[in-house]
Amino acid sequence: MNTLLIAPDSNLINTPDEARHIQEALGAQVINGRVTPIIVADAIANRIARRQTIDTLFFIGHGNLTGLQLTDGYISIADLCRYVKSANIRYLVLNTCESEYIALAIHHETDATVICTITKVDDAQAYATSRLLAESIASGYPVEEAYERTKPSGAGIQTYRIFPDRNQQKTHTNDAEYKTIQLWREVLVVHLNQMAAQVKQMIEEERNQRGREMQRLENKIDEQKSELVNAITILADQSKNTVTLPRHYVTVYTTAFLFLAIPIPLYFLEVRNLIGISAFASIIVAWIFYGMSHQTFAYLWGFIANRSKKP
């Protein structure tokens, strides 16, 4: 059985050993390392040009609704169907996570038998299944029987599925069509559930993200509120010790200095003689004016009762 194995570089640690064992068991041609869509297309086209058949195509790696992931790019579902029909590939083994949609599309478009995974598969389990399948095929078992002998089974969740060659079901056309419809329905249900779960997860993540953003915003508002309260408190404390000048502060200020200046001439004898006042009386008058100046300045700077302060 001529086998082509595609095993691009990936984060799957068991891929090199898995590819080596498949190559040894089936004598497969291996395309590994850095693999691109062009490399795959050339490998298949060269086989067709040399009239070399490809009975089985193995793929080890990752897959999704886009197709099979390579090192650089994807093999799309459309290209897979084209390769299967052009090279008359009879069997495909897609050892990737959640490749049921890809397998069902190939099964619908071609006559190939497709083995695929229908859920996420542990790397070690994928390695064991792939190697046992290759060894069973090498031992002479038909692919369908080899699959039944080596697929994981038991009470756990089913992880692999086979879509058989539609030509083998022609004697039971109605049953085949019914089974195909049932498979389509099952796959659609699976993917609808997956999409619903993904949407739910996205909504939940968005809700959590918004919740975290709202919490951060509330914390920031609380911090700013606290800072504002502290600033107001500090401002209030400072304002208690702060006075404002009265509206007529210029007049009061000028009057206070006049009260200081008026007694100065009384210290001169000529002035006292001129106004007929004694030295003792001039001292009394000077102290009166100095007292008035003191009171005026006190009023100006808020040191007496009728001076208003900021609240």
Q: How far is Cα 155 from Cα 136, in angstroms, rounded to an integer?
A: 23
Q: How far is Cα 301 from Cα 249, in angstroms, rounded to an integer?
A: 10
CATH class, range 3-164: alpha beta
pLDDT of residue 280: 86
Interval 82-110: pLDDT, tens? 999 999 999 999 998 878 888 888 988 88
Low-confidence ranges of the chain (pLDDT < 50): 171-173, 306-311
| Start-to-end Cα distance in the chain | 99
Interval 173-207: pLDDT, tens? 455 555 666 666 666 666 666 677 778 788 888 88
pLDDT of residue 231: 83
pLDDT of residue 310: 43
pLDDT of residue 165: 74
| Claim: this prediction has a pTM higher than 0.75 | no
Angle value at C-alpha 289, between 285 and 295, nearest 5 degrees? 145
Interval 200-235: pLDDT, tens? 788 888 888 888 888 888 888 888 888 888 888 887
